[in-house]
Structure 1
Amino acid sequence: MKKLTTALSLVAVMAISTQAATLEERVKALEEQNTVLTEEVLASQSAGFTLVDSEKTFNGMGPAASKVYFSDNPLSIGGYGEMFYANPDNGDDFADVYRFITYFGYKFNDWVVLNAEIEFEHGANADKGGEVVVEFLYLDFLLSNEFSLRAGHVLVPMGLINLRHEPTLFNTVQRPEIERQLIPSTWHENGVLAYGRFDDLGIEYTAGIVNALNVNNSKTTTPKTGWIRSGRLGSSKNASFEPAFVGRVDYTGVNGLIMGASAYYGEGSNLKNDDANDVDGLTTAMFDIHARYENGPLAAYGLYTQTTLDGAEKLSSNAAEKASGYYGNISYDLGGLLGVEYKMPVFAQYENYNPVEKTVDGQNEDAFETETVTIGFNFFPTKQTVIKVDYEMNDVNSQETNTLSVGLGFIF
């Protein structure tokens, strides 16, 4: 009798366990269905457009720029914006409607995708320094996870900010100056790129041909800070085209960590119908080593970059030959410590760079040596919106400037 009772008890326990497992599976399935239904309801409330997911990115780009790749609707519309107020201690305070960007994406089918970014800068008032620019406009041919092609007007895959330049992705009100002057973000050129990902290895890559920088300009020969940045040709009408190589490799095999390197090499003189000023034997080489890490409330990112101009002596006796610099940014989210649901990181950033580190004649090499410390605070009312406050202490060749800035940013 005892054996029978024991056997019946075991059968009952197994039945209950099976039922529990089945119930658990059914609950999981219902949760998945609820997620799908919620997304469909949200999509119907937003005229069928996909809402931005701040956790999803494609090929290293920002979440809003990546929307089309995750959209159930063929048409995707997104964008971002940033505005700021600045009060430097050596001049008048000012405010700027800095950028408003629209992304338009369209899926022709499951492997041919259009993606475009149109920027309205400084209010887009040309009489007051504003402009409207196509920052990328390309077709993606999604052949496989390991190999796809991108052709058109593309973002040059260098550094951290150039691909991920949406304001919710960096802490400071302004982008790091190194990623404006040494890596001239936003850097976009005509070209063709191959890219892919090897999941088993945790490796992502991009490589291809883009239009070369034209550093055969007055800021190189003078020299001045913006000699690299002034070399961008972008989406200008009838732009000359000189092919340059660009490549990038990132390792993502450790949770929360992205680390890698980028390289660029091309002709330094990219002029059109100007044989009198064109210079042969001028080449520009650029590389960077970058990393980004997130672990709970702690986050950090930074890079080192260097650019050399071979043949600079052909431009002038005091032309710029080399630029280099590095920066690091570390932050800690106070939201958890304060017991609130909002993301509230405090941060510190250090930049050290010289855009004219070396000249042909060795003169004025300290004139633009820059060291900047920035401390600040971000508040995210939602994952897609941010309020920024920072205080920047800038030292250029022992000339100090301190600036208090407040910024607003959003993605959609």
Structure 2
Amino acid sequence: MRNLTILTLLLVTSLSVAQTANDSISVDPQLQQNAAQRILSGNYGKAVTIGAYGEINYNQPEGDNGELDVQRLVVLLGYKFNEKTQFVSEIEFEHVEEVFVEQAFVNYAVSNNVSLRGGLMLVPMGIVNEFHEPTTFNGVERPAVDNSIVPTTWREIGVGVTGRFPDASLGYQAYIFNGFKSTVSDGEGGANGFLSGSSGLRGGRQKGIQSTIDSPTFSTKLDYYGIPGLRLGLSGYFGRTQAEDDVDMLDGADIGIAMVGFDARYGFQRFTARGQFIYASLNDTEAYN
């Protein structure tokens, strides 16, 4: 398979000032921000912030016709209520016909280094799920690990806290989310599952669509940025999948999930490198199967 990206556009603007970064990597790790972080930190005193990025792909399999696709067009809208409270949203149009809300949360700054968040938010696991703009990954499609293991774009409804310990060059996030949806009633006293060996946890994402919750899940991440050009991340996700009332008492209706990730990014002048390791462990799968 030979792939070619014919157009990738990444643009983040405010109403009065435009500012674009070519990559999430910077020699100064403090400047490594995704689109939502740019909205929170870069509204330049304006109440309304607008951002956007898009991606058009061309894939050419050997011996077959090529395929052109508007993979995604994303609009970011932010609103600053006051010096402490901001709203961030990310609306994605996929393949010109599907519309999804990928983020919609309120951020309240308790202090310079502590913020409370609530709403539809990205689960902080690995690199690409939070930094999923096209220039964050090399190649046309997102890496396989960020589709099959970390089901990017992975977002759920929750609440939590985020901030930094500047003296330790450490950033932190900690959230309570609703989890993956595991099963649905088959109408005959049994259940059908959303999870499978071929797509992993991807089919269980609830995406904030009339989400079921019967047990919360916990997600956390630490980022170290104390060495110029280097950023290290350690993330974890723990909990159980969710099942609706009419099937949650069935044996095997849900499974336990534990996921741990380590990621590293480095940038120096024109050189950048990235790597991540994700380990996911599922239990109670025999009864679920």
Scaled by the length of structure 2, the TM-score of the pair is 0.83
Per-residue deviation at 1:70?
A: 1.5
Higher normalized contact order (CA 8 Å, seq sep 6+, divided by chain length)? 2
CA positional deviation for 1:90: 6.5
Match of 1:176 among 143, 148, 161: 143
> Contact (CA 8 Å) 2:48, 2:78: kept in 1 or not?
yes
Q: Does 1:231 align with 2:204?
A: yes
Distance 1:59 1:149, change over 3 A: farther
Name 2:42's counterpart in structure 1: 70
Whole-angstrom CA distance in 1 between matches of 2:37 and 2:79: 12
Match of 1:257 among 209, 221, 230: 230
Say if 2:244 is the partner of 1:271: yes
For 2:63 and 2:163, locate their aligned partners in 1 and report how far apart those are by CA, in whole Å: 48
Q: From 194, 200, 205, give the equivalent of 2:161.
A: 194
Alpha-carbon shift at residue 193 of structure 1 (Å): 1.8
Structure ranking higher in strand proportion? 2
What corresponds to 1:121 in structure 2?
94
Specify the structure having the higher radius of gyration (Cα): 1
Name the SS for the 2:235 alignment partner.
strand
Which of the residues 98, 112, 120 maps onto 1:145? 112
Amino acid at match of 2:226: G
For 1:8-62, what per-residue CA distance to the aligned partner results, in whole angstroms no more than 9, with x for missing partners? xxxxxxxxxxxxxxxxxxxxxxxxxxxxxxxxxxxxxx99433134289899641
Closer, same or farther: CA 69–88 of 1 in aligned 2, 3 Å: same
What's 2:187 paired with? none
Q: How large is the RMSD of aligned CA atoms in angstroms?
A: 2.4
Q: What is the SS of the residue equivalent to 2:96?
A: helix
Hey, what's the Cα distance between the residues in 1 that align with 2:19 and 2:203?
A: 33
Preserved CA contact (<8 Å) 2:252 2:284? no
1:92 Cα deviation (Å)? 3.5
Asked if the contact 1:65–1:78 (Cα under 8 Å) also holds between the matched residues in 2, the reply is: no
Gaps of 5+ in 2: 1-12, 25-29, 184-191
Q: Distance in 2 between matches of 1:306 and 1:206?
A: 19
Per the TM alignment, residue 243 of structure 1 is displaced from its structure 2 partner at its CA by 1.0
Q: 1:80 aligns with which of 45, 53, 62?
A: 53
Partner of residue 133, structure 2: 166
- What is the rounded CA distance, in whole Å, between the counterparts of 2:51 and 2:158 in structure 1? 24
User: Are the counterparts in 2 of residues 145 and 198 from structure 1 also a CA contact under 8 Å?
Assistant: no
What is the number of residues matched between the two proteins? Answer: 262
The correspondence of residues 6-405 of structure 1 with structure 2, limited to 5 A, is: 48-54=15-21, 61-63=33-35, 66-71=38-43, 72-89=45-62, 91-124=64-97, 131-216=98-183, 218=193, 220=195, 223-236=196-209, 238-241=210-213, 242-275=215-248, 279=252, 282-316=255-289
Give the conservation status (yes or no) of the 8 Å contact 2:181–2:212: no
Label 1:60 to 1:214 Cα distance change in 2 as closer, same or farther (>3 A). Answer: farther
